[in-house]
Structure 1
Amino acid sequence: MGTSTENASVEQQLLSFLEERTKTPWTPDRDLFADGGLSSLFAMELVVHLESTYDIMVAGPDLQLMNFRTVNAMVAMVDRLRQAAGE
């Protein structure tokens, strides 16, 4: 697992990115899709953002809605993919 400091940094960066792009404040556990924060087009933009910002590849089984529903879910996915890449 990544350090809590690394994960907190990813969380803050994602919250800032989402707020800037949607003009809406978000909390780490708020459902982005249920609350109308994300469209399918924005979800793809988010995948590109995650890949380019955190040097990860989101593909195959990782492209599931559950990995993008909340900032917490995205932080966990980024952490998992970074760990897998480091192995």
Structure 2
Amino acid sequence: MARADREEIVQVVLDYLAQYDTSGTPDLDEDLFDTGRVNSLFAIQLVGFLETTFRIKITVTDLDLQNFSSVNRVADLVLAKTATTTGA
């Protein structure tokens, strides 16, 4: 996949989240862990999904829960990773 844009990443993450959380669409900066929408198991599942979908490698260093705490944080991580894999 070519480098994804923020809107695409946000929509992909929201769609994935909707499979597990039926309480409505979260605010993009809402802390998903503090609100109980997701847990650490979800974050690990999301890692595999993101690696496959965006053809990126999430490293041990990236596995800080802060990188997965909100939709915007996930988008930031994916943007950073796609920028490195495409040489941008």
Percent of aligned positions with the same letter in both sequences? Answer: 31
Structure 1 segments, 4+ long, off by >3 Å, are none
Structure with greater helix percent: 1
Aligned pair count?
84
Gapped regions of structure 2 (runs ≥ 5):
none
- Which residue number in structure 1 is paired with residue 48 of structure 2? 48
Deviation at 1:72, TM superposition (A): 0.2
Give the number of the structure with larger relative contact order, counting CA–CA contacts within 8 Å between residues 6 or more apart: 2
Q: Is 1:63 aligned to residue 50 of structure 2?
A: no
Query: Helix, strand or coil: the match of 2:20?
Result: helix
Gapped regions of structure 1 (runs ≥ 5):
none
Q: What is the RMSD of the two structures over their aligned residues, measured on CA atoms? A: 1.5
8 Å contact from structure 1 (residues 11, 72) kept in 2: yes
TM-score by length of 2: 0.86
Structure 1 counterpart of 2:83, which letter? Q
8 Å contact from structure 1 (residues 33, 69) kept in 2: yes
- Which residue number in structure 2 is paired with residue 21 of structure 1? 20
